[in-house]
Amino acid sequence: MSDTKFSNASSLTNEIVDILRERILKGEYIIGEKIIENQIATEFRVSRTPIRDAFKQLETEGLIDYIPNRGSFAKGFTKQDMQDIYSVRSALEQLAIEWAIERITDDELEQLHNQIELMEFYTKRKDCQKIMETNVAFHEIIYRSTRSRFLSHILKSYQDYVQQARRATVSDEENLDVICIEHKEILKAILDQNVEEAKYKIAKHLENSRSRAQSKWNIK
């Protein structure tokens, strides 16, 4: 029986979605495994309504496959899915960093500096949760500095998937130093206004992130 506590009714479905999404992405439900509404409702001590709503959202995200008269089945997260997500994200982040170098403000550069300083501090303390938060903040500053709401929205839409990979890799302490170094190299290229170097560094960082996540999850 799960000991999960939900904060309030309005966020109930979203919290259930987050839990089930993480289970699917981490392979706790194998591909093709049936996920039964009644069992989930009993586990979380909630009615079936928020469970149904959560299933619908996960179906929209492509993580659950609903088959009429049979039920809902985990679609899982394959090696190809991982490759596709990081390949698309890499292409978009390279465009984002190019636009960011053209449009970034001094205040945003200072914000990037601050995130790197925080990342170094938390790396020394091996505070995985805080490192993950600064990692997210660093990339989102770059997204904002593109001045493109459309590009920023697309990149943020990947966060639910990438967040699971980020959580898996950041939780492994042996990765922390290299993750920090990779972000420092990205910032240096931005400060140097070296577009090609910045694109190379962000692409390298994302390829390394994909490899770390794949290794951590042992995705087939």
**Which domains are present in the chain?**
9-74 (1.10.10.10), 79-217 (1.20.120.530)
DSSP conformation letters of 131-190: HHHHHHHHHHHHHHHTT-HHHHHHHHHTHHHHHHHHHHHHTSGGGHHHHHHHHHHHHHHH
More confident residue, 11 or 99: 99
* Res. 1 pLDDT band, cuts 50 70 90: very low
Q: What is the pLDDT of residues 135-187, one digit of tens each?
A: 999 999 999 999 999 999 999 877 766 766 666 566 667 889 999 999 999 99
The pTM score is 0.73
Q: What is the pLDDT of residues 61-110, one digit of tens each?
A: 888 999 999 999 998 667 787 788 889 999 999 999 999 999 999 999 99
* Res. 5 pLDDT band, cuts 50 70 90: low
Helix, strand, or coil here: 26? coil
* Res. 11 pLDDT band, cuts 50 70 90: confident
- In whole angstroms, give the CA distance from residue 86 to residue 188: 23
* Res. 24 pLDDT band, cuts 50 70 90: confident
Mean pLDDT over each residue of the chain, to the nearest integer: 88
**Would the pLDDT of 220 be above 70?**
no
Q: Of the candidates 47, 191, 164, which has an alpha carbon nearest to the alpha carbon of residue 108?
A: 191
* Res. 204 pLDDT band, cuts 50 70 90: very high
Q: How much of the chain exceeds pLDDT 90, in percent?
A: 63
